[in-house]
Amino acid sequence: MKVAISQLNYHVGNIKSNCTKILGAIENAKQNNADLIVFSELSLCGYPPLDLLEKRSLLNETEKYLEIIKNNSNDIGIIVGAPRLNSESGKNLFNSAFFFDNKELVSIVDKTLLPSYDVFDENRYFQANDNFATINYKGEKIALTICEDLWEEQQDIDKFVNKNLYKISPMDILIKENPSLMINIAASPFTSSKNRIRKEVLANKCIKYNLPLIYVNQSGANTDIVFDGNSMVINSKGEVIKQLIDFKEDLQYIETKDINSEAPNERDLKGHIELIHDALVLGLKDYFTKTGFKTATLGLSGGIDSAVVCALAAEALGNENIRVLLLPSQFSSDHSIKDAEDLAKNLNIKYDIVPIKSIYDSFENSLSDIFAGTEFNVAEENIQARIRGTLLMGISNKFGNILLNTTNKSEAAVGYGTLYGDMNGGISLLGDVYKTEVFDLARFINKEREIIPINTIVKPPSAELRPDQKDEDSLPPYDILDYILTEYIEKNTSAEEIIANGYDTETVNRIIHLVNCNEYKRYQIAPTIKVSNKAFGQGRRIPLVAKY
């Protein structure tokens, strides 16, 4: 049986557009004499649809376009993911895989294991399946599962989940029917460590059941979640014999009779920083494409964060669609202004210089009686940041340019940012990227030529909100800070355990206190493109008023 593996970029809720893509892939597969084409989980409505699933109109539209797909199943079998209504007791919907052939519905497989961790909340919407059967088609007996149904082992999610997360394994049940082939349709989001984990999990399943696997994931990004694709075919020995391209749409073919005889053909894994780079570029590009926006703006300070965001934005959106403001104050150094100008020229983007000293002076004069007798402190520093935020939002409103937030994860974690100032923005590129990784990204961006000025990379980081200010006046060195943050945020390591690993008690306790007491700031930050196992936002839910 010749199988077409269709890895597409879907738009959540845009059923008609998604269906058009699906029909295009079906036509291509027919022209290549495929017997079966497989699409990813919830491909018709896009993933994650969230509370759109509560709209009956979306379900009606889904049913309408499923009928169109079914009517295009002449001469080819089709597996496509979509929600469907549950007519019996339980949740209103199933997360389903529809199998069409010869303009008929051959089978429906519903998802059994509904993840409710990190960014997943499928128990909110879907009823779990309790009916299991293989599907006979074209000489193969297919064990068809949906994403998590082949992922019940979750050792790598965090340190507390080191056993099977579920009490049931769909494949343990399906294997009793002696299937000849596993097919798994997925909506598996990207993280920088997931490629290795995903391949290991799937390969172990092939070895365990002594079966080949066709795994179909989607590519593209929807708001904060990026899908890297990397669909693959794995033989019964756990060897990858075919792997689709990452971060792009792809359509490839495999003869099922050849899966166990073909030589392994696994691509070398990209490095950690290259993966993050590719995910951020795709995430930003799709955010703009799918919201209908075309142009972006940001404040270019001469610092590393805004420089990396600017370079990524130029790559994702095109340099002609980027407009930046340089907003020097009386505390801005000459070299920072020059670094920002050099970057703008290197990228060939439009920039304007708008000094803010006179605006700041007017604020200071207006508040002089109220602030009388007090020392210059964070209040005056934040006024500068909020002036910049206001001017940038003025550009955004006037010209329709979406403001890009430039806050990195290290700063967001400890509250080293100003609400309604430098934390403004419609989308955050670096909010899930630690400061040490930002430096690595800058070096990666410069791998072929100097785009980001070297001085921006090598100079000590500074907010430049007071004379001779350096980040390390307020924070430990970033390599130490990022280690503590990674352990505490992503691995749930306690302060005591971090200290036991050789880190200063006072520093660890202070950093963890800053993380805990700045939750209110992160609650108000822009949607953040997720690249780690634990990003701020919907995947990390901490009560604002908690005392812990």
Q: How many Å apart are CA 470 and CA 91, to the nearest integer? A: 54
Q: How many Å apart are CA 323 and CA 17, to the nearest integer? A: 31
Residue extents of the structural domains in the chain: 2-269, 275-471
Say if domain 2-269 classifies as CATH 3.30.470.20: no
For residue 345, what are the CA distances in angstroms to 284, 317, 338, 439? 22, 17, 10, 21
517 CB-near residues (< 8 Å, 6+ apart): 415
Ramachandran region, residue 196 (left: φ > 0; alpha: ψ -120 to 50; beta: rest): alpha
pLDDT at 153: 66
Q: How many Å apart are CA 36 and CA 50, to the nearest integer? A: 29
**Alpha helices by DSSP H, 374-467:** 378-399, 409-414, 435-445, 454-458
Active site residues: 41, 111, 147
Q: How many Å apart are CA 539 and CA 367, to the nearest integer? A: 40
Among the listed residues 422, 251, 233, 244, the one whose alpha carbon sits nearest the alpha carbon of residue 327: 422
Among the listed residues 113, 112, 82, 111, the one whose alpha carbon sits nearest the alpha carbon of residue 98: 82
Which residue has 């997943």 as its token pair?
A: 120
Q: What letter represents residue 437's amino acid? A: E
Among the listed residues 423, 427, 425, 443, the one whose alpha carbon sits nearest the alpha carbon of residue 281: 427
For every one of its 548 residues, what pLDDT tens digit does the chain have, with 9 covering 90 and above? 999 999 999 999 999 999 999 999 999 999 999 999 999 999 999 999 999 999 999 999 999 999 999 999 999 999 999 999 999 999 999 999 999 999 999 999 999 999 999 999 999 999 999 999 999 999 999 999 999 999 876 554 444 444 578 889 999 999 999 999 999 999 999 999 888 899 999 999 999 999 999 999 999 999 999 999 999 999 999 999 999 999 999 999 999 999 999 999 888 889 999 999 999 999 999 999 999 999 999 999 999 999 999 999 999 999 999 999 999 988 887 788 999 999 999 999 999 999 999 999 999 999 999 999 999 999 999 999 999 999 999 999 999 999 999 999 999 999 999 999 999 999 999 999 999 999 999 999 999 999 999 999 999 888 677 677 777 777 999 999 999 999 999 999 999 999 999 999 999 999 999 999 999 999 999 999 999 999 999 889 888 888 77
Q: How many Å apart are CA 136 and CA 138, to the nearest integer? A: 7
CB–CB of 212/256 below 8 Å?
Answer: yes
pLDDT at 39: 98
pLDDT at 547: 77
The DSSP line for 131-183 is ----EEETTEEEEEEEGGGG--B-TTS-TT--SBSSS--HHHHHGGG--SEEE
Say if domain 275-471 classifies as CATH 3.40.50.620: yes
Among the listed residues 224, 229, 258, the one whose alpha carbon sits nearest the alpha carbon of residue 241: 258
Q: How many Å apart are CA 255 and CA 34, to the nearest integer? A: 9
Give me the phi and psi of 217, to 5 degrees please. Answer: -110, 165
The DSSP line for 94-125 is EEEEEEEETTEEEEEEE------STT--GGGT
pLDDT at 163: 58
The two structure tokens encoding residue 357: 């000293």
Q: Would you tell me the crossing angle of helices 435-445 and 478-485 to the nearest 10 degrees?
A: 120
415 CB-near residues (< 8 Å, 6+ apart): 514, 517, 518, 521
pLDDT at 470: 75
pLDDT at 3: 98
Q: How many Å apart are CA 160 and CA 533, to the nearest integer? A: 14
213 three-class SS: strand
